[in-house]
Chains A and B, each alone.
Chain A
Amino acid sequence: MKFRTNIEKNDKDSKELNVLIIDDNEQITKMLTTFLELNNHKCIVANDGKQGLALIQENHYDVILLDLAMPEFDGYAVIESLESKGMLKNNKIIVFTASTITQEGLDELVNRGVSSYILKPIDIDLLLSKIIQSATS
């Protein structure tokens, strides 16, 4: 059981972040968008890996939330393409996944240059703090 106290509202002065969400599940992207917009951040959604990759190559995002398990062009494929273009480390990618990836697998992604990870189902406070941490690191 977790006991929540009222968590202080985000510093109003904290910078508005540009967040790209790549996930094939629309209910999840909608929830994340709602949450981040309530916290005064801007969200752009890509529903598959290909579209996400194209957006990353064209624009700059403060943070990218990347789902690993997607049909066809999945999160791993996005990471690999960015890696081969030498673009993995310039982008702040937070991997989020419900799949049964091992701790070793996650550590390996971080070693390759992924900024951070969070396991689904998501603790939204933790998510927000990871987003801010990644963006400012």
Chain B
Amino acid sequence: MVDNELKIELGKQGILVTTIEELYNWGRRSSVWPMQFGLACCAIEMIATTMARYDLARFGAEVFRPSPRQADLMIVSGTVTKKMAPQVVRLYNQMAEPKYVIAMGACAISGGPFKQGYNVLKGIDRYIPVDVHIPGCPPRPEALIQAFMTLQKKIDGQPLTGEGRPRFLDADAQCEFPVPEQGAHDLEPPSNQGVWPVEIQGVGSRERRDIDGRQVSTDH
């Protein structure tokens, strides 16, 4: 392994030293294509982010793909209702790995201002794992850009082997998540315990899984 300072020094001399991992992640992070998928008000700010003033293209993410098969990133931009939630999970399942999720806005995180609604899902992370949350109602375009950079940092930091490697390099990792059913009164189940391990105070701790679906220690 070349030490970092030496690498920078060599770079100044015009010599490029890199690792497969760096090169690979550099490629992945520089062309994250989001899915063209807007849910509510936040989607308008998402569109504004791609327009001339904020210009998301600077981050290699201007190509919004209408098809989930061609997208790497799902920006859940807006309120997920219970009528829509199964479709969101289905779309997520249809995306090819590697795939990432940004929950944009208060609604996608927790239901936001509409939390008390009977038809509002109280946070998309009840059904699918989320990589970056952006608070705000709606988050400003700058906040979305910040989330994007956070995601790029995360991609940059993923090792290709060993612990913490991305899901698509891990044969055991779960890539598809169960789609909830629309029942007579509510979604069934109301949350996917695999990704939404709710701690209930006073009740013994339960099995927890981390974002990639692996089991983590259960005592707290």
Please determine whether chains A and B interact with each other in the same assembly.
no
